Structure 1
Amino acid sequence: MTMTPAGIAPLFEPDHCANCFEPLPADYRHRPWLFCNVLCRETANTIRYWRKTARDGRFDADPEVRYAIGIRLAHMLRGGYDSDVRRIPTDVRVLVIERDKACVRCGGPGEEIDHIDEDGGDPGNLQLLCKTCHHAKTAEYLAPASQDQSDLIFVLLIARVVPTAPAQLCDDEIEWVAAERTLRGERIVRLRSAAVRDQAAASEAAAARKAAALALDFDDDDDEDRDEDYYAGYGQNTHYAAG
């Protein structure tokens, strides 16, 4: 566990969401791994990027960085931005650049690849845009934040971006990548072991039920329930043909 300079470990609780601390499903196949949903994962990603750029000076020096953080926050307020789904493979990027050659809106130099309507990396849903046209298109889908939303962003800033030491482990822009890999592996091992134990317990219970059912079928006192006609005049335990 990473320690802050004050000697206090950033908050993290095994088998709970690293961002909001809600319990995670007891299933090693759950994604996204250490977060309850995509929104929580992308919130933590944004916090780390914000912290990193604030500390290395890029947030103040580069308007593109401030713009990128603003867009991330806007997507977060709309319910999350699944970066995995929207990731474009290198070969598809090359194909789109070679196909479009220039910004499809203004004809200027193409700089960025845009998803036209939906997520995914299908070339038919991608187009090459210049930075200005891409920003303009993105702005078409944005709306001013409400007061409650602005308050939420301010709380995140004060509680998780401004402090020198990360308040939560997933906020740590230096240590999280390595810590996440370790914690993810530990969780998978823990849940798989539990699944094996549960399966073994279920098998034992099923075997016990089967044995109990067989015992009921093989009742030593079963003869008491049979009427006289059952023995056909040959008496109990006389299981051979009469001469």
Structure 2
Amino acid sequence: MTLLAVERIKLRSTRSAWCCAALAVALTLTFAAMFAAGSATTAPVTVTSTQFGSGVGLLIVMVMATLAVTTEYRYGTIRATFVAAPRRTQVLLAKAAVVALISAVLGELCSFGSVAAAKLAVPTADLAIDTPFEWRAVAGTGLVFALAGTFAVAIGALVRHSAGAIALLIGYTQGAEQLVQFIPKAGPAIHHWLPFNVGNKFLTGDADPITANAHDGLPPSDATLGPWPALIYFAGFTALALGAALVTTAKRDA
């Protein structure tokens, strides 16, 4: 519990964490309001369409999670942390737990806040969250943010350099997973099993019949797993990344 409290204080006292958190929520809600206002004249605003900007929020939260690790290596404070708590794996686990919790809270603020922002922009829109799919698409965002934040912590611990870790995350999530589809023959099959594509299936899979053709929210995933198995798969991939970070952190010099 002491390590958890220490990591919470560290993150709370870091300016970059506050800036990233504020930026993630602000941009996500702004995108939701703008998209709702812009599309209201041509198509009905739906609960899923309000989540249009959550991908941007997720990316910023992952940057925050990465900086929570790499900033300590940059300024050398990680050495003092490891002297005070020699069991390095416990330190990293505590940091991952704190970041996951904060990421989950930010995910819920982004998702439910987007619904509220769209409602303010288009007061006549019917944005009641009624169906299991709508609840999963909105409330489930916190789970995906938590796992993605944990994955970003692992990458930060493995790379230990802010620019390199952030570039790797952005390059993979925004580029590599999409470009894989262009590999002849095997590309689409590989893309079905890439972690962030699968994680997105939890939020976009098994859409309600009345909104199944509405591709105005998050881009639908083409993963073959169902929504809940997809979340478990994404969690497993995150656990593998964190496991690799734990082993590396325990063996390398600070």
Q: TM-score, normalised by structure 2?
A: 0.25
Larger radius of gyration: 1
Answer 1 or 2: which has greater helix percent: 2
Q: TM-score, normalised by structure 1?
A: 0.26
Larger relative contact order (Cα-Cα within 8 Å, sequence gap ≥ 6): 2
